Amino acid sequence: MKRSLQPERDEALDEVPDDALANRRGEYFGDVLEKAVARRAFLKAAGALGAAGAFRGAALVIAPALIRPRPASALLGLWEDPGDRLAFKTVPPGDEREVEVPEGYAFDTILRWGDPLAADAPEFDLDAQTGPSQARQFGYNCDLVLWFPLSEAAAPGEAPEMASRSWPLVGTLRRLNPFSWRRGPTARALLAVNHEYTTGVDMFRSYRPGADRDQAEVEIEAHGTSIVEVVCDPEGRWRYRRDSGFNRRTTGSSVMEISGPLRGYALMQSAGDPTGTRVKGSLNNCAGGRTPWGTLLTCEENFDQYFANFDTVPSSHRRSAELSRRIPAMPGSTPRKWELFDPRFDLSRDPVEYNRFGYVVEIDPYDPAFVPRKRTALGRFKHETATTRVARDGRVAVYSGDDSRFEYVYKFVSRGRFDPRRRSANRDLLDEGTLHVARFDPGLGFDPDMGSGEWLPLVWKEGGALHRAGYRDQQEVLLDTRGAADQLGATPMDRPEDIEASPITGRVYIALTNNSKRSPEPGPGRFGDRDRDIELGPTAANPRGPNPHGHIIELIEEGDDAGALRFRWNIFVKCGHPDSPTDGARFGDVGDPAASGVSPISDPDNVAFDDEGNLWIATDGQYASEADGFGQNDGIFAVPVEGKQRGLLRQFLSSVPRAEVCGPAFSGDDRSFFCSIQHPHEGRAFEEHWPLDEKVVSKPSVIGVWHTEGGKIGS
C-alpha cells in the first residue's frame, strides 16, 4: 500500500498420482490437479485399451514428464535455460498515463471497482453508492489476485474434485494443444481478489469521514475479497461473468468463524460476541495464497488503522491492551472514523474486538456458502501473505511476512498431514501446528554470501522462555506474536512483503520492500516508541541503511524440506538503478547489470513464479520514490533465479501514475497473466482517470495480459 494515504503506523481429488501424494516440492493445488488430470487421462486411455494395470507404473513416470520436462529432459541433455523463456522486449521505465506491455502483448481490464457481481446487483453509481450495493459489487483497491481452475461442468458448492470429473479430456487436449483449452469458448476460472483499503477522497465527490454513515458503510463493504468467475474468449481476453453463481463478496461485515487455539478464548470474547467464536468482517486484506487443497488464504495486514481509542482502553482490559502493545491501534480517532457509527471499532467501548483481527483467513472459493475461518494458529500480526508448501512428511508449511519496519518473517508448520485424496480431510489442517519466526545469521568466513538461519518455535510451555517472559499460555503468545518473537531473538527485517517458493527448486523468495528508518550506522537502537532495542543499523540480511529500494532474499530450507527448522540464505537481488554506484544494487549473478540490460527496480512487493521457475515481481512505491531519484510508474518485472541468466531482471509491464501493482498471477497454462492496478492516480482520482475510458473517477482494476500469438507469458 502507499504510505501517503494510509496511516504511517505503519481433496481435492478423488484420485491423484502417487508422486503428488508425496508432493515433495509442495506444489500448489493447480499443479496437483494438473498431474491428477494427466494421470487420470492416461489411465482412462489405458483402460480403454484394456491395459490399465500394465500401464499403471508407466503413468507414474509419464504424467509428471508431461507437466514439467525437467529433470527427465535434463538427463537426456535437453535442458533449456529457464531464462530462455523470457524473450519479451523490455518495457522501459515510464510515467505514462496508460499501462505499457511488451510488443506482441495485449491487455484489458477484467474487473473494476463497482462492477456488479450478480445479475440483479446494482450498477455502479458514484452518486448513489450504498453499503448494500457495494456489498454486491467489486470492491476497492484490489490487491492479491489468484487463479483457481474451473471445469466446464463445475457448479457452485461442488468440491473441485467433483468439478474436475470432466477434466481428463480437457486436460488431454490441453497437453496436445495448449491453445485448445484456454482458447476454447468454455475456458473458465475463478479469480480471487483482495480489496485492501479505501481512500475516501478518491471514492466520494465530497468525503466526510465521521459525518456520513452511508459513506462509512460503503467503505466497510468495499474492503474484503471478491471471488468472481471469468471466461476466456478465443483471442485470449478474459471477461467476468456477472451472473455466475460462484461470484461472492466477503467484506468488512461478513460473518466469519474464529478457529484454532484462540476460538472461544477469554480475550476473544467481545461485547458483540460473548462466545469468542464468530467475528464480523476481515479488513486490509493485502496478499495471500492458495492452499494445495484449493482454498484461498487472505491476509489481514494493517488492521490497526480501523480501531480507535487504544489509549483509553478501560483498566479492566489492561491485559488485552498489553498484548497489543507491539501492534497498537489508533490512540484517538481513526482516519475513517467508522467508530462513530459502529462501536466495534471503538476500543473504549469494545476493548476486545481488536484482538479478533490480524489473522490469515481461509475461504473456499468453490463454495459460495462457506463461512470464512480466521486461522488463529498462524499468529496475529500484519500478515502480508500466506504461502503454502508441503513438507517431506506431508505436513503443511505456511510462510508469512509481517510488513512493518523491523518486523519478522514467520513459518507455520501444521501438526497434521496433507491428504491429496480427500479434500475435506484438509479442511482444518491450519488450526493445529507450530508457528516459528526466522533468525537470519551471517555467513561464515568461507562463504560470507551464504548465511544460515533458524526457525524459532513460538511455543509456550511451563518454565520455558515465553512463560518466563510473562506469557500465561499459548493463546497469549499468539495474540502478541510480535512480542513473543522479540523474546526469541528473531531478526528484524526491512518490511517483509510477499513470499513465494519456486515450483522447480522449492527455494523460497522473500520480498523486503524498503526501510527508510534503517540506520546507516551499525549497532543497536530504539525504533519508534515501542520500548524495544533492536539492531537499527545494517545487518547481514538487511545490509543497507537506509534501504529505500528493498531487496529479495533467497531462502533454502535444509534438505529442501519446508518442514525444516534450519535454512541457508543469500541476497538474490538488491534493488535500485543498475548503473548507480550509490544504490549499491546487485542482481543475482549478473556481473555488469547496466550493460546486460537489467531494468531499474525499487520497492519489490508481490511475487509469483511462472511454470519454468522464473520469478515475477510487482512493485509498490517506485512512483512515490521520486525523491530518491526513481519517479517511474510501478510495474512488473521478470527474473530468472536459475541458470545462466540468474538475476537478469527486466521490466515486463509499466503501470500508471500513483498506482501500485499487485497480484501477480498466471493462468494454469501460463498463457494469461493477471495483476491489480491498485489506487491509480491515488489522491487525484477525480482529476485524472484510469482506466482511460472512465470519465468521472479512476477505478482500481484487475487486468489480464496475453500474447497476441498465443505464446506463454514472457515469450
Q: Could you list the residues that contact Ca ion (CB under 5 A)? A: 1, 286, 605, 620
Q: Does 682 bind ligand FEO (CB under 6 A)?
A: no
Partner from Ca ion, ligand FEO, none contacting 642, C-beta within 5 to 8 A by type = none
Are residues 507 and 615 in contact, defined by beta-carbon separation less than 8 angstroms?
A: no
C-alpha cell at 245: 453463481
Q: Output the smallest distance, CB 660 to Ca ion, in A.
A: 6
Are residues 578 and 601 in contact, defined by beta-carbon separation less than 8 angstroms?
A: no
Backbone phi, then psi, for 556, in 5-degree steps?
Answer: -115, 110
* Of 202 and 605, CB closest to ligand FEO: 605
Q: Where are the alpha helices (DSSP H) in 202-296?
A: 213-222
Partner from Ca ion, ligand FEO, none contacting 378, C-beta within 5 to 8 A by type = none
Partner from ligand FEO, Ca ion, none contacting 273, C-beta within 5 to 8 A by type = none
Q: Does 304 bind ligand FEO (CB under 6 A)?
A: no
d(CA 173, CA 179): 9
Q: Output the smallest distance, CB 286 to Ca ion, in A.
A: 5
Q: Does 634 bind ligand FEO (CB under 6 A)?
A: no
Q: Output the smallest distance, CB 119 to Ca ion, in A.
A: 33
* Of 573 and 598, CB closest to ligand FEO: 573
Q: Does 431 bind ligand FEO (CB under 6 A)?
A: no
Angle at 358 between CA 536 and CA 459, to 5 degrees: 70
Task: State which of positions 8-47 bind ligand FEO (CB under 6 A).
Answer: none
Site mask for ligand FEO (CB under 6 A), range 475-514, x = bound: ----------------------x-----------------
CA 666 distance to own-chain centroid: 13
d(CA 503, CA 505): 6
Q: Does 221 bind ligand FEO (CB under 6 A)?
A: no
Q: Does 300 bind ligand FEO (CB under 6 A)?
A: no
Residues 6+ apart with CB under 8 A from 176: none
Q: Output the smallest distance, CB 142 to ligand FEO, in A.
A: 12
Are residues 658 and 680 in contact, defined by beta-carbon separation less than 8 angstroms?
A: yes
* Of 121 and 661, CB closest to ligand FEO: 661
Partner from Ca ion, ligand FEO, none contacting 301, C-beta within 5 to 8 A by type = ligand FEO
Site mask for ligand FEO (CB under 6 A), range 517-556, x = bound: ----------------------------------------
* Of 27 and 498, CB closest to Ca ion: 498
Angle at 311 between CA 308 and CA 314, to 5 degrees: 95
Residues 6+ apart with CB under 8 A from 422: 11
* Of 238 and 630, CB closest to ligand FEO: 630
Residue 392 one-letter amino acid: R
d(CA 391, CA 393): 5
Instruction: Name beta bridge partners: 290.
Output: 296
Site mask for ligand FEO (CB under 6 A), range 182-211, x = bound: --------------x---------------
Q: Does 608 bind ligand FEO (CB under 6 A)?
A: no
C-alpha cell at 627: 525523491
Measured between alpha carbons, how far is residue 288 from residues 102, 220, 344, 698 in Å?
Answer: 28, 20, 25, 25
Site mask for ligand FEO (CB under 6 A), range 250-289, x = bound: ------------------------------------x---
Using CB positions, name the residue nearest to Ca ion: 620
Q: Does 403 bind ligand FEO (CB under 6 A)?
A: yes
* Of 254 and 385, CB closest to ligand FEO: 385
Q: Where are the alpha helices (DSSP H) in 535-642?
A: 593-596
d(CA 6, CA 660): 14
C-alpha cell at 695: 470519465
Partner from Ca ion, ligand FEO, none contacting 196, C-beta within 5 to 8 A by type = ligand FEO
C-alpha cell at 182: 484456454
* Of 286 and 361, CB closest to ligand FEO: 286
Q: Output the smallest distance, CB 42 to ligand FEO, in A.
A: 42
Q: Output the smallest distance, CB 335 to ligand FEO, in A.
A: 16
Give the residue from 357, 355, 378, 228 showing the smallest Cα distance to 297: 378
C-alpha cell at 710: 498465443
C-alpha cell at 197: 483499503
Q: Output the smallest distance, CB 495 to ligand FEO, in A.
A: 7
d(CA 307, CA 337): 9
Q: Does 407 bind ligand FEO (CB under 6 A)?
A: no
CA 197 distance to own-chain centroid: 15
Chain positions contacting ligand FEO, by CB under 6 A: 1, 196, 286, 301, 384, 403, 497, 605
